[in-house]
Amino acid sequence: MHLNDQDILKLYTTSGKEEVAFGKLVEKYHQRIYWHIRKMVINHEDANDVTQNTFVKVWKGLPGFKKESNLFTWMYRIATNETLNFIKSNKKRVAQAIEDIQIGNRKDDSFFTGDEIETKLYQAIATLPEKQKLVFNMKYFDELKYTEIAEIVNGTVGSLKASYHHAQKKIVAHLTTHD
């Protein structure tokens, strides 16, 4: 049974319980953070590295975390930052990872078993600009609220709705064209 974020923060501020609280935080969010990252960087090993870097930053940043903020969106924001920095520094690698998930091009360690339509979907998503891809993933796969996404990317709800709508249109057009 996971504690809610407020309880985790209360535990963290209890003297001597910081490590227990952080352990609870990791237990609660490690999978969610991993999948958020994985859908952007594609490759499992890269997602593993970025996820771990994210939690190291969360651990180091917790002492300065403003308790009135939302813990979940704060962590997601760190993960998002780490992901975008990784993609920026490893564009060719990420592009190669997207190519590697094509059926017929997969390696044994690609950790992707999607069928044809799932492969086409991820290829369509890959055509989006990085930040639009991010918004799409958070809305479509993670089912976050627009208000949460706005906090994570420092955008407005209106612009996010527009961006998500445009992303959907592009993806469907891509799926239709490459049918």
Residues that bind another protein (CB under 8 A): 19, 22-23, 26-27, 30-31, 34-35, 38-39, 44, 48, 51-52, 55-57, 59-61, 77-78, 80-81, 84, 101, 111-115, 117-119, 121-122, 129, 131-132, 135, 140-141, 153-155, 159-166, 168-169, 171-172, 175
Would you give the end-to-end CA distance of the chain in angstroms? 44
Provide the minimum distance between the beta carbon of 165 and another protein in the complex, in angstroms, as a whole number: 5
| Residues 6 or more apart whose Cβ sits within 8 Å of residue 11 | 3, 17, 20, 21, 24
| Contacting residues for 107 by C-beta, under 8 A, at least 6 apart | 100
Residue 7 or 45 with smaller CB distance to another protein: 45
Instruction: Report in angstroms how near the CB of residue 52 gets to another protein at its nearest.
Output: 6
CB of 56 to another protein, least distance (A): 6
Residue closer to another protein, measured from CB, 95 or 157: 157
At its nearest, how many Å lie between another protein and the CB of residue 121? 6
Q: Give me the DSSP letters along 15-32.
A: TT-HHHHHHHHHHHHHHH
Question: What element of type H or E holds 173?
Answer: helix 157-177
* Whole-angstrom distance, CA of residue 20 vs CA of residue 104: 46
Considering the complex, state which of residue 10 and residue 30 has its C-beta at the smaller distance from another protein. 30
Please, which residue, 2 or 165, has the CB nearer to another protein? Answer: 165
Burial (CB < 10 A; 0-12, 13-18, 19+), residue 177, is exposed
